[in-house]
Structure 1
Amino acid sequence: METQIVRLDATQLAELIRTKEVSPVEVMQAHLDRIAAVNPKINAIVAVADDALNAAKLAERAVLSGAKLGPLHGVPFTAKDSIDTAGVLTQLGSPIFAGRIPSTDAPTVARMKQAGGILLAKTNLPEFSYWIESDNLLSGRTLNPWNPERTPGGSSGGESAAIAAGMSPMGLATDVAISIRGPAALTGVIGLKATHGRIPMTGIWPRVPRRFWHVGPMARSVRDIALAYSLLAGPDGADGFSTSPLRLDAGLGAKPERPVRVGWLVEPGFGLIDREVAATVQAAAEALKGAGVIVEPVRIPVLEQINALELLWKLQAMETKPAFRKATAGHEDKIYKHVQAVFDTPDTSIEDFVEAEQQIEAMRDGFAHFFQRYDALLCPVTPVPAHAHDAAEFVIDGQSVSSLHVMDATAPLSVTGLPGLSMRFGTSSDGLPIGVQLVSTWFAESTVLHLASVLESVSPVRDLHPL
């Protein structure tokens, strides 16, 4: 029964709990047992909530008493260890913050709880969430459940690995350049980076540069992502970027009023792309076309003219350094190599800083022009499937590229604030997940959720599980 429970998505678990076919205690214990059995192999979970089982017992009493139940009543969820959780360790992947226990929940955590969800555990990340892999001096390295010699990505690699391995049905993650969508692709789960500001970043560290930071859900089904998004979105009165209405249509089940038009793109615009990744994007395009969607190959000139990752790094280096130096002052011996790399990055001149901001505006204009004709963009998430740990470079089509190239298809959405969803649609020749990315115009999350549900219904990789 445990194996069956941990394979179910959150929506089905909630329904089974509501109809008394399983109890919240059974569900929680199954996931706790799964963590005990699997986490030593991949190191995705860094702290288990002490009161998780007691919370499940209270949830069970509510079911038996006939109380009104929330949409996630009794369902466990996890959260990246940069997101504040009241009474539960939140250590930011750093020995400097070892033992830190917040007194309040971040609004995202609080909203999951208000819907009946039960915090199960916290998940691994790179120090301060700043790298493309998930390792640190405090809790070590997370391994990809599909192949422990490969990375689950970063910075939300612990979250994606935990969900992929059945230790959690859904969770909360953050994204500044790749950190939700990349790990989701590398581990075969689904991750949504909504429009910037849709979901408040309050109670999440680091805070800078907050105009690029996002928080969002990860799960194993599109309907779970849609449900979580509908619960998480909306202003909290503290994050000045979060201003959109709270009640939002998740988009599933709603028939579009007209045919949806999608442009698909692999190259040029995102640099070199592995042939298996390119083939997977094309297969997704054909699948959408077969489902009645208007699909055309496209080029987006601004992607060929401007490198979003370079802009992001120039801006982050200047804005992040002061915050990191303040946080690490007096503890320089406890800084891991990824944060040290931030400190070692040359300062950006004010002229280059201003130019970078202006180029981001030009990139937003370029996307706005694209979305005048198309409802969505279909493209790669990462240029390669999950790569080896600590890889400095990749070889694609016989050419070597920096491992930072892994962010070239995700960074444009971060600097422009566009919504993007990552989901698996293929498998590499060595058995690793391959993801595709769906992008819509600002505040049109319902479009990517609708298209994702279409792809999910015809996916060639449904019901595949690691471990």
Structure 2
Amino acid sequence: MTTDLIHSDATELAELIRTRRVSSVEVVQAHLDRIEATDPELNAIVTLADGALDAARAADEKLAAGAEVGPLHGVPFTAKDSFDTAGVLTQRGSPMFAGRVPDTDATSVARMKHAGGILLAKTNLPEFSYWIESDNLLTGRTNNPWDLNRSAGGSSGGESAAIAAGMSPLGLASDLSISVRGPAADTGVAAFKATHGRVPMTGLWPREPRRNWHVGPMARSIRDLALAYSLLSGPDGADGFAVVPPEFDAGLGTSPDRPVRVGWLVDSGLGPTDPEVAATVQAAADALEGAGARVDAVNIPALERDNPLELWTKLNVMEVKPAFRKVTEGHEDQMFSYSKFLAGTPDTSVEDFVLAEQAVERLRDAFAEYFQRYDLLLLPVTTIPAHEHQLGDFTVDGRTVSPFHVSSTTVPFNLTGLPALSMRFGTSSDGMPIGVQLAATWHAESTILHIASLLESLSPVRDQHPAL
């Protein structure tokens, strides 16, 4: 039973608890036991939330009394340690915030609790949530449950490792350029970054640049992503970007009355991609075509004209560097890799910043035109499977690239605010998960979730777990 519980998705756990076939206490205890057994090797969990078992007992008592309950009643969840959690340490991956305990929950945490979810633990991240690997001076490095010598990704690597290893069924993560989707691909779980502003950023740090930051769920199934998105989305009266009503959706819905139109690519100016990753994307395209979708290989010329990763770097330096300088002043001895790197990076000139902003506008125009012709864009999540720890410059398909290149296929959707989802669809020759990424037009979340659910049913790697 314990093995079944730690590998069940949140939707199934909620149903088991609601029908009283299993108690919330049993579910929470199973995940706490799994954390105790596996986290010493993984280092995904940084803080256990006090009172999780007490909350589970209260959830069971509420059910026994016949009370109305929420869709996640009694189900544990985890949150990246950049989300404020009332009464629970939120240390942001840095000694500069050691011992910090917020008084209030982030909006997304509060919404999960309102739906009946029980906060189980906080998960590891890079310093300030900025890097492609989850490592920092305060809580150390997270390992990938598929291979301890490899990264679980960043900046939500603790969250992805926890879910992949069965320590949590559902989690909250954040994404500036890759940080929800990339770690999910590295560990073989699913993750969703909805349209920018769909999920309020209230109670998260850092906020710069908030027009690129997104909150999103990680899970074991597409239906869990859909459930979590339905709970998390909508204005909270505090985040000025979160203004669209949750019921508005520009997508096809779950039962389109015509074939879905899918374009797929593995390059189009985004740089080299590992051949096994490219083959996995083509396999997903073939699977969708076999299921009745109209599928074409495509290119998007604007991606070739204006390199999104270069644009992101220019904009990021200009906006983040002053914020980091303010936080780290007087604490230079506690700075880790990325804050040191950023401090030594030349400032972006105002002229280059404006030109980069104009290029982002061109990208938005190009995607707007593309999504007039197609419902979905299918492409890699990361350009390589999960890499070894402390990645430096590396070679992909015969070309040497910087470590930032792993995010070249995800960053366009942060710059433009488009929704994008990551899900596993393959396995590398050395046994590592390979994901594919699905993107759609703004506020078309139903399109992505519908097609992802279809693709999940066609996946050759369903229900595979790391052997920990």
Question: Which bin holds the TM-score, normalised by the shorter protein?
Answer: over 0.9
- Corresponding position of 1:215: 215
Shift of residue 307, structure 1, vs aligned partner: 1.0
Report what 1:185 is aligned to: 185
Partner of 1:242: 242
Aligned pairs (5 A) from 1:39-438: 39-247=39-247, 254-438=254-438
Alpha-carbon distance, 1:309 to partner: 1.3
| TM superposition shift of 1:247 | 3.5
Contact 1:229 1:250 in 2 (8 A): no
Out of 301-310 and 412-421, give the one that drifted further. Answer: 301-310
Report the secondary structure of 2:147's partner residue.
Answer: coil
For residues 355 and 46 of structure 2, what CA distance do their matches in structure 1 show? 41
Amino acid at match of 2:263: G
- For 1:24, the equivalent position in structure 2 comes to 24
Conserved? CA contact 2:143–2:151, under 8 Å: yes
SS at match of 2:447: helix
In the alignment, is the contact (CA less than 8 A) between 2:93 and 2:138 conserved in 1? yes
State how far apart, in whole Å, the 1-side matches of 2:459 and 2:424 are: 8
Q: Which amino acid aligns with 2:28?
A: M
User: 1:234·1:243 contact (CA, 8 Å) conserved in 2?
Assistant: yes
Contact 2:420/2:437 (CA < 8 Å) preserved in 1?
yes
CA contact (8 A) 2:248 2:443 kept: no
Q: CA deviation at 1:257?
A: 2.4
Structure 1 runs (4+) deviating above 6 angstroms are 249-253
Provide structure 1 residue ranges, at least 5 long, that are not aligned to the other structure. none
TM-score (norm 2): 0.98
Alignment partners' CA distance in 1, 2:158 and 2:105: 20
Residue 248 of structure 1 deviates from its aligned partner by: 5.7
CA–CA distance in 1 between the matches of 2:98 and 2:90? 8
In 1, Cα distance between equivalents of 2:297 and 2:397: 21
In 1, Cα distance between equivalents of 2:85 and 2:360: 34
Whole-Å separation in 1 of the counterparts to 2:40 and 2:426: 28
3-state SS of 1:429 partner: coil
SS of alignment partner, residue 244 of structure 1: coil
Find the residue that maps to 1:148 and give its secondary structure.
Answer: strand
Alpha-carbon distance in 1 for matches of 2:244, 2:124? 30
Distance 2:237 2:327 in 1: 26
Q: Which letter does structure 1 place at the counterpart of 2:330?
A: G
TM-score between the two structures when normalised by the length of structure 1:
0.98
Q: Are the counterparts in 1 of residues 133 and 157 from structure 2 also a CA contact under 8 Å?
A: yes
Cα distance in 2 between the residues matched to 1:194 and 1:131: 21
Task: Map 1:4-19; keep pairs closer than 5 Å.
Answer: 4-19=4-19
State how far apart, in whole Å, the 2-side matches of 1:30 and 1:169 are: 11
| CA shift in 2, pair 1:388/1:9, >3 Å | same
Secondary structure in 1 matching 2:79:
strand
Does the 8 Å contact 1:223/1:252 carry over to 2? no
Of stretches 125-134 and 395-404 in structure 1, the one that deviates more from structure 2 is: 395-404
Q: Deviations over 1:399-418 (max 9, x none)?
A: 22212110100010000000
CA distance in 2, matches of 1:6, 1:247: 32
1:388-429 deviation per Cα after TM superposition (whole angstroms, max 9, x unaligned): 111212222222221211010001000000000000000000
Q: Alignment RMSD, CA only? A: 1.2
CA contact under 8 A between 2:253 and 2:446: conserved in structure 1? no
Match of 2:321, as an amino acid?
Answer: K
Structure 1 Cα separation of the partners of residues 227 and 304 of structure 2 = 35
What SS does structure 1 have at the residue aligned with 2:39?
Answer: helix
- Looking at structure 2, the residues matched to 352 and 395 of structure 1 have their Cα atoms a distance apart, in angstroms, of 29
Asked if 1 retains the 8 angstrom alpha-carbon contact of 2:44 and 2:161, the reply is yes
Deviates more, 1:240-249 or 1:26-35: 240-249
- Partners in 2 of 1:209 and 1:100 — Cα distance? 23
Does structure 2 conserve the Cα–Cα contact (< 8 Å) formed by 1:262 and 1:294?
Answer: yes
3-state SS of the aligned residue for 2:77? strand
Per-residue deviation at 1:269? 2.4
The residue identity in structure 2 corresponding to 1:191 is: A
- 1:48-70 CA distance string (max 9 Å, x none): 00111111111010111111010
The answer as to whether partners of 1:44 and 1:162 remain within 8 angstroms in 2 is: yes
Give SS of 2:217's match.
Answer: strand
The separation in 2 between residues aligned to 1:412 and 1:434, in whole angstroms, is 20
AA of the residue aligned to 1:113: K
Quick one: which amino acid aligns to residue 305 of structure 1? Answer: R
Aligned residue pair count: 467
SS for the counterpart of 2:200 is coil
Helix, strand or coil at the partner of 1:425: strand
> 1:2 aligns to what?
2
Report the Cα distance in structure 2 between the residues aligned to 1:53 and 1:130, rounded to whole angstroms.
Answer: 33
1:246 shift after superposition: 2.8
> What is the alpha-carbon distance in structure 2 between the residues aligned to residue 150 and residue 429 of structure 1?
15
Task: Check conservation: 2:421, 2:438, Cα contact below 8 A.
Answer: yes
Q: Over residues 244-287 of structure 1, what are the superposed CA-to-partner deviations in whole Å (9 max), with x where a residue is unaligned?
A: 11336798982112211000101232210111000000000000
Is this contact kept in 2: 1:163–1:220, CA < 8 A?
yes
Structure 2 CA distance, aligned partners of 1:332 and 1:159?
28
